[in-house]
Amino acid sequence: MHADATNIPLAMLAVFGSAKLLAELFERLKQPAIVGEIIAGVLIGPSVLGWVESNTVLKALADLGVLFLLFRVGMEVRTRDLIRVGGVATLVAFLGVVAPFVLGWGIMASQGAPHVESIFVGAAMVATSVGITAQVLASQGLLQQRASRVILAAAVIDDVLGLIVLAVVSSLAREHLRILELVATAAIAIGFTIAIAKWGTSTVNRVAPHLVSRLKTGEVQFNLAMLLLFALALAASYAGIAAIVGAFLAGMALSDTVSGRVRDLTHGVTELLVPFFLAGIGLQLDLSVFRNPSTMILSLVILAAAVVSKLVGCGLGAMSLGKQDMLRVGTGMIPRGEVGMVVAQLGLSMGVIPKPIYAVVVFMAVATTLIAPPLLSLSFRGALHEEPVEDFQIG
């Protein structure tokens, strides 16, 4: 299907309908609905039935879906809650970047891959796709758990660190490493994130009531919330970090003042758009990588390394929280989703990653996204009935 006027509604029907159908099936099988929605994309995509191909319209809907998902999650999280776990989250994010990068680079180097190609594969394994984990946690009412707050905070820090890693490897691929440019990029990204996280809520608390009292057209609070969402998503992009981080920070800035009406409207939009994000991940899966035995073996090795490196690296960072939360944090940081695919796409476009390795990385990104929800549900089993634990911060 192509993105012309006659096929757009048909593509939307196929993606949304199949995603919801399989979500319902997986719920009845006592499995996370999110897995069903991703598998729906695999089934109707080019690798299996070939009903739908990813196009600009579906990509736009998917991008909006993950923006609204992170915005909605942000509205359920208070800034002070993330600050309480800030020290632990920083350690989790740092180890969760170092371990996958070293392991990915080491595997490729041991295969005799070129130096820059090995570095790009390592970089593709670094960043966590928080959208998947956030959807699982939100759907099960687990966002207020301590481990959940560590995961969300670590994922934001992880994105900034991933940006720095990507900037470095891109410079290496171009054979000129500009230190001042890298420092400036890192400073802007870190400064933006800290500024919005620290002063966003208080600013909104002061400004929003005055605007709401003066504006009369339509759903005023919802309209203002949408303006803040898109403005901070855009600002985050200009700062060099993912737009979804800006969306999350926008939701967090509104968490103290947003009304139930705005939450309901946002939830409705999110329910419409998120299936396109989840099924879109499945559409990217290329099963043809398994036709070549050596590529298949490398795919499975990279997948295992991607899972173990986050479980161990992020888990060690959360050691101070106890064994149960170590497992939860490590599991929550496993999905790579669209982040790994973006890095792989960049490497392919720069000519430093061949197509078979690109397919391996995309397989890793999609497979970790499929693996994480069941593991996350298992690790959080019984969490809602646990006694509350005092939060603390290291450093």
More confident call, 124 vs 22: 22
More confident call, 218 vs 293: 293
pLDDT at 375: 86
pLDDT at 392: 46
pLDDT at 15: 92
pLDDT tops 70 at residue 131: yes
Whether 100 contacts 122, CB under 8 Å: yes
pTM: 0.72
pLDDT at 181: 65
The pLDDT confidence band at residue 156, using thresholds 50, 70 and 90, is confident
Report domain 61-382's class. mainly alpha
pLDDT tops 60 at residue 366: yes
pLDDT at 178: 65
User: At residue 207, what is the residue type?
Assistant: V
Whether 318 contacts 88, CB under 8 Å: yes
pLDDT tops 90 at residue 18: yes
Q: State the Cα–Cα distance between residues 248 and 69, nearest whole angstrom.
A: 8
Report the pLDDT averaged over residues 302-329: 90
- Provide the residue ranges of all domains of the chain, joining segments of one domain with +: 61-382
Percent of the chain with pLDDT over 90: 13
Report pLDDT digits (tens) over 251-299.
Answer: 888 877 778 888 889 889 988 998 998 888 788 777 777 788 888 888 8
pLDDT at 16: 94
pLDDT at 394: 39
Written as six digits, the tokens of 264 are 């309901």
Could you give the 3-state DSSP secondary structure of residue 111? Answer: coil
Residues 6+ apart with CB under 8 A from 300: none
pLDDT at 308: 93
Written as six digits, the tokens of 187 are 């400073």
pLDDT at 383: 66
Please tell me the least confidently modeled range out of 1-5, 36-40, 171-175, 240-244.
1-5
pLDDT at 393: 44
The DSSP line for 119-156 is HHHHHHTT---HHHHHHHHHHTT-TTSHHHHHHHHHHH
Written as six digits, the tokens of 167 are 């900037």
Report pLDDT digits (tens) over 75-116.
Answer: 877 777 677 777 888 899 889 889 999 999 999 989 888 888
Instruction: Measure Cα distances from 364 to 110, 225, 304, 336, 367 in Å.
Output: 18, 35, 9, 8, 5
pLDDT tops 50 at residue 347: yes
